[in-house]
């Protein structure tokens, strides 16, 4: 049997280039184990697609590497490798291959895998967050953050070790549960991990998933994607507009104080990471320009709403999956609207 070859996709290669600053920032913040997570994800994503790809045309899409990278970087830095393997294989098989392979899938495979492990392994996926390294060389000199050792350089407090404290969750969870709001500069750089006191107990703020915490690195990737016309700017802008509108409505319009301020909403959690790299997925997003605006707006608004109402403080994955389900209908409605407009003009 002839071994399947790779389907060359220049657009997917450019997405990988855009992820380089995100990956480097993740290694600096959390150590080299992050790249190991991406490597494991890449191996099992490739194997899953290799097994499922039909004999004809018999080509594996280069998009498989993008799915693996996006999935691996969306995980907490200390996620068990077996969870990464199971999640990315599920995403490839049930998020793409069951629909017929690349170009035929309705859902973003990386999001399908991420949502699957989030639901199936909630304890592992919400208890594996760790503080970020600071200073030079940061995580480049470490495999991973060791919770049994002292805090990294720049965060050390006399007599305090992480083993003697209780690690708190990510900035979103900590704000909701403890009222601790991370500074904007820390959200931009990803250097999150300061100690704080709550009810007489010292806690250490954890950062977040490996690829989502450094907003500057994500924005650099966004600039490259837009400059090379790899991603559609309408999808990015509409998602951010949806998040801004929902945030202003809930916090300023309805006076719901549990909804965080706008800068915190935009730069904390996976909103920016998903907006740049996942909402812009050309396969699962609408094809028509008019459809892209309500699609992105819906996703951005749902992210803010889920953060406010859901049990889990996240919700980006589920917001995108709902958007993916609506994308074909949005295109269909726009086509019908165009057809009616043409008939009216002709008459």
Q: Give yes or no for residue 23 having a pLDDT over 70.
A: yes
- Top-confidence residue, 66 or 136: 66
What is the mean predicted confidence (pLDDT) over 224-248? 96
CB 242 within 8 A of CB 266: no
Band the pLDDT of 147: cuts 50, 70, 90: low
Q: Give yes or no for residue 154 having a pLDDT over 60.
A: no
The per-residue pLDDT for 175 is 74
Residue (of 245, 306, 234) closest to 275 by Cα position: 234
Tens of pLDDT, residue by residue over 319-329, are 999 999 999 99
What is the mean predicted confidence (pLDDT) over 81-110? 93
- Top-confidence residue, 167 or 17: 17
Band the pLDDT of 246: cuts 50, 70, 90: very high
- Top-confidence residue, 163 or 195: 195
Q: Which two tokens stand for residue 276?
A: 């740049």
The per-residue pLDDT for 202 is 72
CB 281 within 8 A of CB 222: no
The per-residue pLDDT for 257 is 84
Q: Give yes or no for residue 271 having a pLDDT over 70.
A: yes
Above pLDDT 70, what percent of the chain? 85
- The three-class DSSP label of residue 195 is strand
Q: HSE-up of 61 (CA within 13 Å, CB side)?
A: 22
The per-residue pLDDT for 170 is 76
Range with the poorest average pLDDT among 161-170, 196-205, 214-223, 297-306: 161-170
Q: Where are the domains of the chain?
A: 228-346
pTM to 2 decimals? Answer: 0.89
Band the pLDDT of 15: cuts 50, 70, 90: very high
Q: Give yes or no for residue 151 having a pLDDT over 80.
A: no
Residue (of 87, 105, 88) closest to 96 by Cα position: 105
CA–CA distance, 140 with 104 (Å, rounded to integer): 39
Residue (of 49, 46, 129, 120) closest to 87 by Cα position: 120
Range with the poorest average pLDDT among 100-114, 122-136, 168-182, 288-302: 168-182
Q: Give yes or no for residue 344 having a pLDDT over 70.
A: no
Q: Give yes or no for residue 137 having a pLDDT over 60.
A: yes
- Top-confidence residue, 56 or 242: 242
């Amino acid at each position: 049997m002839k071994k399947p070859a790779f389907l060359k996709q220049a657009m997917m290669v450019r997405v990988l280039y855009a992820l380089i600053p995100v990956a480097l920032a993740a290694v600096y913040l959390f150590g080299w184990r992050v790249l190991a997570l991406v490597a494991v994800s890449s191996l099992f994503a490739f194997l899953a697609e290799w097994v499922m790809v039909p004999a004809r045309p018999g080509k594996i899409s280069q998009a498989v590497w993008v799915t693996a990278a996006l999935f691996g970087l969306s995980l907490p830095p200390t996620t068990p490798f077996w969870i990464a393997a199971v999640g990315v294989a599920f995403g490839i098989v049930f998020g793409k291959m069951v629909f017929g392979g690349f170009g035929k899938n309705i859902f973003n495979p990386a999001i399908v895998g991420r949502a699957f492990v989030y639901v199936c392994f909630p304890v592992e996926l919400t208890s594996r967050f760790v503080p970020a390294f600071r200073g030079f060389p940061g995580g480049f000199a470490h495999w991973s953050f060791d919770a049994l050792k002292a805090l990294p350089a720049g965060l050390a407090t006399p007599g305090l070790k992480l083993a003697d404290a209780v690690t708190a969750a990510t900035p979103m969870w900590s704000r909701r549960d403890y009222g601790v709001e991370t500074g904007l500069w820390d959200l931009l750089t990803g250097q999150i991990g300061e100690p704080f006191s709550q009810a007489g107990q010292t806690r250490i703020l954890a950062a977040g998933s490996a690829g989502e915490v450094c907003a500057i690195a994500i924005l650099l990737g966004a600039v490259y994607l837009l400059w090379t016309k790899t991603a559609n700017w309408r999808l990015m802008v509409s998602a951010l507009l949806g998040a801004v509108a929902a945030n202003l409505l809930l916090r300023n319009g309805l006076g719901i104080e549990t909804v965080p301020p706008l800068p915190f909403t935009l730069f904390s959690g996976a909103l920016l990471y998903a907006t740049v790299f996942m909402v812009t997925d050309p396969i699962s997003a609408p094809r028509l320009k008019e459809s892209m605006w309500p699609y992105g707006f819906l996703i951005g608004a749902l992210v803010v709403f889920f953060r406010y109402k859901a049990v889990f403080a996240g919700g980006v994955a589920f917001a995108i999956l709902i958007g993916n389900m609506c994308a074909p209908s949005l295109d269909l409605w726009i086509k019908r609207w165009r057809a009616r407009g043409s008939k009216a003009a002709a008459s």
